Amino acid sequence: MVKITKIRIKKITGKTNILNNEMNTAVIQFDVKKGEIQANLDTVFFYLKKLAANNVRLAVLPEMFSCSFDNDNLKEHAGQTDRIIKQLARFAAKNNMAIAGTLPEQKGEHIYNTMSFIDTDGKVKANYRKLHLFRLTGEHLYYTAGEKTKVIDTTLGRIGLMTCYDLRFPELARSLFLQGARIIVVSAQWPSPRKNHWKTLVRARAIENQLFMVCSNRTGVENGLSFPGVSVIVDPLGNIIADANEFEGTAFTNIKIEMVDEFRTLIPCMSDRREEIYG
């Protein structure tokens, strides 16, 4: 039995109506226990069940939500990833909810930090391997960097995928924008000392690419480093429309996808780009 502390299920507004391009969208944050897969899964499904009861259609989990950065045991943890994805896929199909988050993936001798996007029908629509490895914490010593961006057509619209440190590279978000993304989902373990960077970068990526950002970050302390939570959902104007603050729990809000088209029509950044000058 998992022990849940400081539970906060934070509803912002609205009900889901996908036919009208509206949907409840959520971020989940919790203290990801290093190497403790079952404890982490108990927490994940506790919150997913709460969100399903509130008709949420998209839920984003933190980076490495199954085992955190237990880098000395990655092969063992990666061996559990298929089982975890199957569990999440069954839940997604049963509850008509898309779920995204990153897990360790092994291919041959390589280990990747990979985001799986499971659609509302329970099908895995994409596996995105983190492109930018964070050298400050030695990620490059344990993981292999991905080689491809990912924008996918889902039952909820066209969605781009990013992971944590990727936020610091505007070229990546712009590539997803140019590929037609209307939402970007981000899984992260972003530490407290750079909390202000987190919110600034998320808002900047939303504003400059005129889309929704749905970004999950963890809470807790690991190896002496604290994590602030502050998982957020940001609209195309850069407004934070859902904020989980610093407590373990969730935040969700109703987003209107047509807002992307409306704002891109009002300020036509796509057509006003000067590709012949800066590429």
Using one digit for the tens of pLDDT, what is the confidence trace for 196-239? 999 999 999 999 999 999 999 999 999 999 999 999 999 999 99
- DSSP state for residue 263 in the 8-state scheme: H
Domain holding 252, by residue range, is 10-15+23-268
**List of the chain residues with pLDDT < 50:** 1-7, 9-20
Does residue 155 belong to any structural domain of this protein? yes
Does residue 86 belong to any structural domain of this protein? yes
Q: Is 63 a catalytic residue?
A: yes
Residue among 22, 63, 105, 139 flagged as catalytic: 63
Does residue 225 belong to any structural domain of this protein? yes
Does residue 148 belong to any structural domain of this protein? yes
Is there a contact between 24 and 54 (Cβ–Cβ < 8 Å)? Answer: yes
Residue among 130, 139, 215, 248 flagged as catalytic: 130
Does residue 275 belong to any structural domain of this protein? no
Q: Is 246 a catalytic residue?
A: no
Among 258, 209, 207, 253, which Cα is nearest to 232's? 253
Residue 83 has what pLDDT?
Answer: 98
What CATH number should be reported for the domain holding residue 80?
3.60.110.10
Does residue 277 belong to any structural domain of this protein? no
Does residue 5 belong to any structural domain of this protein? no
Residue 15 has what pLDDT?
Answer: 37
Domains of the chain: total: 1
Residue among 125, 164, 215, 248 flagged as catalytic: 164
Does residue 140 belong to any structural domain of this protein? yes
Residue 59 has what pLDDT?
Answer: 98
Q: Is 50 a catalytic residue?
A: no
